[in-house]
Amino acid sequence: MTRRIFFTAVVFSVAAVGVGAEKDWVKLEHCHVVLDPANDGDSFHVRANEKEYIFRLYLVDAPETDAADPARLIEQAKHFGISVPQVIELGEAAKLFVQGKLAEPFTVITRMANAMGRSKIERFYAFVQTKDGDLGEQLVANGLARVHGRSAKPPGIASSAAESQKLKSLENQAKQAKLGGWAAKIEQSNAPTASPATIPSLSLPVPNAALSPASPPSKSRSERLFPAKFNINTATEKELKMIPGIGPVMAARIIAARPFRSADDLKKVNGIGDKKYDQIRPYFQ
């Protein structure tokens, strides 16, 4: 009799866990992005209702921003038909694009499904709505992410398959228009080993530009590499070192000299003369 009661209790507990696993959709409005070095094109820290979360976009995968996962970098390079160094360049562009799109309050739709991650803060899958529409769709439409990853059917969508099909259509349009990662296709056999000196620059979109697959590519080198100019007082060391002419020592000096009234004050930093200033100033707001 005791064993029967125990068995029934275990079955009830397992059933309860199964029922609770499928949570209802939650809509978090007036969210704000939290600047964090770990943020990238498809995963970022968010503050909502005075609590901090990490959300990972459903259905899309933005390129990596470093070489921590070589296998994934090569996989992404093969998808876009570009080199591994170009993947990292594209990943940084996606990160800046998202940073621009999330500069204003946005809405997160999530059911708090665990998206894993290495942070102490739990990461959840989500759909993000900005003033320009679905963030994942914007990334794909601009050639800054591929259709890949966990799917779900959010409220108001007929099915997850319908959303996947829409994203694939946007990806094909971006590919035909040669936007983002589709702008500098190279020979597949050279993708993992191509020298950066021989790699053509990608044509990358401006973060706050209206979505349009037919938008003309940026012409200047700084616009191609950096779709948004850096804030002199908030740019991370990693972002500063992306700028030609700024290495680890100079990045540390710039950070130590903060706060600046504007980027015009860069001349006050030890080691930045007129020539260096003229070289790096266009990369800042």
Q: Which residue has the tokens 């015009």?
A: 264
Residues of the chain with CATH 1.10.150.320: 229-285
Identify the architecture of domain 23-194+201-218 in CATH. Beta Barrel (2.40)
Instruction: Read off the pTM.
Output: 0.62
Q: Supply the pLDDT for residue 14.
A: 35
Residues of the chain with CATH 2.40.50.90: 23-194+201-218
CA distance 191 to 90: 14
Residue 204 · residue 220 · CB < 8 Å: no
Fold classification of 229-285 (topology level): DNA polymerase; domain 1 (1.10.150)
DSSP conformational letter for 269: S
| pLDDT digits 0-9 by tens, 78-116 | 999 988 888 899 999 999 999 999 999 999 999 999 988
Given a cut of 70, the residues of the chain with pLDDT beneath it are: 1-22, 117-119, 184-228
Taking Cα atoms as reference points, which of 88, 94, 91, 277 lies closest to residue 191?
Answer: 88
CA distance 147 to 165: 9
| pLDDT digits 0-9 by tens, 204-226 | 544 443 333 333 334 444 444 44
CA distance 32 to 103: 8
CA distance 201 to 195: 12
CA distance 13 to 8: 9
